[in-house]
Amino acid sequence: MSTRPSVIRQTIVTPIILIVALLIMAALTYQFGSRAFNRTAVEMFINIMVVVGLYVFVGNSGLLSFGHISFMCLGAYMTAWLAIPPVMKSITLKGLPAWLLHTQLPMWVATPISGLFAAIFALIIGRVIMRLSGIAASIATFGLLGVVNNVYSNWDSVTGGQGSIVGIPPTMNVWIGWLGATAAIVIAYLYSISRSGLALRATRDEAVAASASGINIVRERLIAFVVSAFIIGLAGALYAHFLSIVNPGAFYLRTTFVTLSMLVVGGMYSLSGAVSGVVVMSVLIELFRNLEKGISLGGHTIALPNGAQEIAIGAITIVMLMYLPTGLSRNREFSWRGWPLQRPLARPVQTALKELN
Amino acid sequence: MRSDGLELVARDVSVQFEGLKALSDVTLAVPRGGITGLIGPNGAGKTTLINVLTGFQPVGAGSIELEGEPLNGIAAHKLRHKGVARTFQSGRLFRDLPVVDNLEVTGVGLGQTRRDAIAEAQRVLAWLGISSLANTIAGALPYTDERRVAIGRAIMCTPRYLLLDEPAAGMSEHESHDLAAIIRRIAGELNVGVLLIEHNIGLVLELCERIFVLDSGEIIEVGTPAEIRDSDAVRHAYMGTQRDELIPPIVAEAAVAS
Ligand SMILES: Nc1ncnc2c1ncn2[C@@H]1O[C@H](COP(=O)(O)OP(=O)(O)OP(=O)(O)O)[C@@H](O)[C@H]1O
Ligand SMILES: [Mg+2]
C-alpha cells in the first residue's frame, strides 16, 4: 500500500510562504520605510497576530466570536503590570499587590506570561461559553467583550480606569513585529494540522456526523478557544510595548470590528486568508488615513471627512460578504492539500427536522 | 462467530415530539455478530429509534442497555467510544474532505494520532475494496460510493454495533447485492452486531436473522424472514400494497430515499 506523505509534509509550504512573504515586507520596511511607515508595519504585524488568533477559533469552529479582543486587553494590561518600572507603578496603580508592584520584567518574559494569562482566562470562561451553540455562543462572546471592557474601565486602582496607563518600555520594531506574527502563524498552523484542529473542522462542516465519529464538540472548541486566546494575548502584550500606553478603549468595538473585517475579507476558513486579509486591509486603511489628512492637487488640498476610513472598511466588508463570501483566498491555502480545497459556496440551510436523519 | 448473548437493547422506549408519538413502548435487541432488520413505512419511527440507540435522541421513557450496561442520557460521542456506530440516511459525509480523511476523522475522534488514523483508514478502505476512492473529495462521489464510504467511516476501529439507516437507498440491484456481501462480512468477520433499516425489503429478508416491523411508532411484528413474509400485520402496515409487491421473491426495488 502506498503510504501518503505525512500531514506536515503536505502542508508545511503554507506557513513557510506566509512567513517568508512577511519577512520580505519587514526587510523592505526596515530598509526603505520612514519612521511613520515602520510604525504602520508594526501595527500590521500585530493585527496579523490578532486575526490569525481569531482564525484559529472562528475558522476552525465556524463560530463567530466578538469577544476575542478582550484577550488582547488582558494581555496588554498584564504586560503593563509586569513591564512598567516600579517607581511609576506605585503612583498610578496603587491597587496592585505588593509583589507585582515591585517586579519589572523584560519584554521577552512579560509577553509569554501575558499570553498565558489570557489563555487561562479563556479556559475558565470557555468552559461555560463553549457549551452554547451557534448564535448563542456568538452573543455570549459579545457579552464577554462588554464585561471585560467594563471591568478594565472601572477598576481604577489596578487599571487606571478610563484613562491611559503610561510607562511601558517602547521596545517594538518591525523585526519583533515579524517575530510575533511568525509565532502566531506557527501556532495556528500546528493547531490546524493537529488532531484537535481536524476534529473541530469536522464539527464545523457536519456537527452531527462529527459526534457520531466520537468527537466531543465542546472539548475541541474549548481547545481552539484557549489557543486563540493565547495568540491574541501575545498580540496585546506586543501592542502595549508598541504604544507604550494602554487604555481600555483601544480594546473594544472598533478593534473588534476592524479585525473581524480583515478576517472576512481574507477568507475566514484559511490561515492564508487571515494573513492576506490583514495585509490588504492595512494598505487600504493606510490609504484612507492619508486621504483623510488630505492630499494636495495643484495647490488645492482635498481631504476626505474624518470617519471615511471606518465607512470604507464597512463598505468593503459588506461587498465582500455579498459577492465573495469565501474571501480573497476563497478559503483556500497557498498550496495546501487537504481541508479547504474547493469549498462550495453558500450551502442550503438544513431544517431542524433534517438534522438527525 | 455468534457470541455469548451480548446485545444492544432498547427497552420499552417511548419518544414524543410535540404531541406526536414517534415511538411507543418499543423494545428491540441487536445481538452481537448478527444482522437484525428494522422495517416499516415512511414516518414509522425507524430513524428515531436509531437516534435513541446512538445517543442523539433522549428518551421520554424506557432505557438503553449496551451489553448489560445502562446508557440513558449518554452523549452521542461517548457512545461511539463505547463501540456503537451508525450511518445516516442522508449520508452526512464531510463533503470537502477526501475520502481517506473522512475515515481519519473517526480515528482521531476515537483517540488515535493522525498517523495511526490514516493507516487505519487505509486499512478499512482496502478491506471494503474501495481503496481507489481514497483521494476523491467526498462531495464529488456518486451516491452509491457515498454510502460505502459512510459505512467505512462507521467501521473505523471496529465498533461493537453498527446501525445502518437505509444504506441501499438508490442502489441498483447489482449494487445492493455487493452491499449485502459487505454487511455479511461486517457481522461475520468483525463480529459486529448490525441493525439494518431498509425499504428494500428483499435485501432485509435475504440478510437478517430477525426482523422487527415498526409502524406508527409501535413494533407490530417480530420474527424470522419467513414469519415476516407471512404476517398479516405486516401486510396491513403497508396499506394498499399488494403482498406480491411488498415482498418480491428476489427482485430488489430501488427504494426512493427520503
Ligand atoms: N426532530 C423531530 N421533531 C419533530 N418530529 C419529528 C422529529 N424527528 C422525527 N419526527 C417525526 O417522527 C416520525 C418518525 O420519524 P422517523 O424519521 O423516525 O421515521 P422513519 O421511520 O425513519 O421514516 P423514513 O422511512 O421516511 O426515514 C415522523 O412523523 C417524523 O415527522
Ligand atoms: Mg428514516
Per-residue pLDDT of chain B (258 residues; tens, 9 = 90+): 444 679 999 999 999 998 899 999 999 999 999 999 999 999 999 999 999 999 999 999 999 999 999 998 899 999 999 999 999 999 999 998 999 999 999 999 999 999 999 999 999 999 999 999 999 999 999 988 999 999 999 999 999 999 999 999 888 889 999 999 999 999 999 999 999 999 999 999 999 999 999 999 999 999 999 999 888 888 777 754 544 455 544 433 443 333
Ligand approaching nearest to the C-alpha of B255: 1
How, if at all, do strands B35-39 and B69-70 pair? unpaired
Output the nine-digit C-alpha cell for A29: 520596511
CA of B213 from ligand 2 middle (Å) equals 14
A264 within a domain of the structure (yes/no):
no
Q: What is the ipTM of this complex?
A: 0.88
Cβ burial of A35 (10 Å; 0-12, 13-18, 19+) is exposed
pLDDT above 70 coverage of chain A, percent: 92
Q: Angle of helix B143-154 relative to helix B114-128, nearest 10 degrees?
A: 130
Q: Judge contact between A269 and A331, C-beta under 8 A.
A: yes
User: Which residue ranges make up each domain of chain B?
Assistant: 7-93+158-257, 96-140
The cell numbers describing A44, all together, are: 500590521
B258 Cβ below 6 A of ligand 1: yes
Residues A218/A219/A222/A227 CA torsion (nearest 10 deg): -150
Which grid coordinates belong to B61? 421513557
pTM attached to this predicted model: 0.90
Residue B257 near chain A (CB below 8 Å): no
Q: Nearest-CA neighbor of B139 among A205, A286, A146, A247?
A: A205
Q: Is A111 within the bounds of a domain?
A: yes
Q: What is the per-residue burial (b if ≥16 Cβ within 10 Å, else e) of B115-141? A: eebbbbbbebbebbebbebbebbbeeb
The predicted pLDDT at position A356 comes to 43
Contact B51/A at CB under 8 A: yes
**The predicted structure's pLDDT at residue B117:** 97
Q: In B74-99, which positions are buried (b, 16+ CB within 10 angstroms) versus exposed (e)?
A: bebbebbbbbbbbbbbbbbbbbbbbb
The grid coordinates listed for A19 are: 512567513
pLDDT (tens digit, 9 = 90+) per residue, A121-180?
999 999 999 999 888 999 999 999 999 999 999 998 889 888 899 999 999 999 999 999
Amino acid A6: pLDDT: 80
pLDDT over threshold 70, residue A295: yes
* Ligand 2 centroid, distance to B66 Cα (angstroms): 22
Asked, for residue A197, whether it belongs to a domain, the answer is yes
Residue B61 in 3-state DSSP?
strand
169-228 of B, contacting A, C-beta below 8 A: none
Residue B113 CB–ligand 1 contact under 6 Å:
no
Name the band, by pLDDT with cuts 50, 70 and 90, for residue A297. Answer: confident
Q: pLDDT by residue (tens digit) across A16-51? A: 999 999 999 999 999 999 999 999 999 999 999 999
Q: Which residues, 6 or more positions from A87, have their beta carbon under 8 angstroms from its beta carbon? A: none
Helices (H), A206-252: 207-212, 217-243
Give the domain range for residue A90.
4-249+343-356
Please say whether the beta carbons of B65 and B253 come within 8 A: no
Give CA angle at A324 (A20, A136), nearest 5°. 95
Give the containing element (helix H, strand E) for B36. Answer: strand B35-39
Q: Residue B153's closest chain A neighbor by CA?
A: A213
Quote the CA–CA distance of B227 and A326 in Å, as a whole number: 56
Closest CA relative to residue A211, chosen from B54, B2, B144:
B54
Contact B75 A193 (CB under 8 A): no
The contact set of A with B (CB < 8 A) is: 1, 4, 6-7, 193-195, 198-199, 202, 205-206, 208-217, 338-344, 354, 356-357
Q: How far apart, in whole angstroms, are the C-alpha atoms of residue B82 and residue B111?
A: 12
- List all residues 6 or more positions away from A322 whose beta carbon is below 8 Å from its beta carbon: none
Q: Which of A195, A342, A356 sits opposite B108 (nearest CB)?
A: A195
Which residue in B78, B80, B113 is closest to A213 by CB distance?
A: B80
pLDDT at B255: 39
Q: Is the CB of B144 under 6 A from ligand 1?
A: no
- Angle in degrees, 0-180, between the axes of helices A195-205 and A174-193, rounded to the nearest 10: 70
In chain B, where does DSSP find H-type helix? Answer: 46-53, 76-81, 99-109, 114-128, 143-154, 173-190, 201-207, 225-229, 232-237, 243-246
Rounded mean pLDDT of A331-349?
Answer: 51
pLDDT higher than threshold 50 for residue A112 = yes
Beta bridge partners, B137, equal B98
Number of structural domains found in chain A: 1
DSSP B162-228: EEEESTTTT--HHHHHHHHHHHHHHHHHH--EEEEE-S-HHHHHHH-SEEEEEETTEEEEEE-HHHH
Nearest-by-CA chain A residue for B88: A357
Quick one: angle between helices B99-109 and A195-205, nearest 10?
A: 110
Q: Helices A217-243 and A69-83, interaxial angle, to 10°? A: 50
Contact indicator for A157, A23 with CB cutoff of 8 Å: no
In a domain, residue A125? The reply is yes
Q: What angle do CA A273, B97, A8 make, to 5 degrees?
A: 65
- The answer as to whether A193 is a domain residue is yes
In a domain, A336, yes or no: no
Grid coordinates representing B50 are 436509531
Predicted local confidence at residue B211, as pLDDT: 96
C-alpha separations of A137 from A66, A91, A237, A318 in Å:
10, 40, 26, 23
Span A203-257, pLDDT tens digits:
999 999 999 999 999 999 999 999 999 999 999 999 999 999 999 999 999 999 9
Pick one of 3.30.70.270, 3.40.50.800, 3.40.50.300, 3.40.50.720 as the CATH number of B7-93+158-257.
3.40.50.300
A205–B95 CB contact, under 8 Å: yes
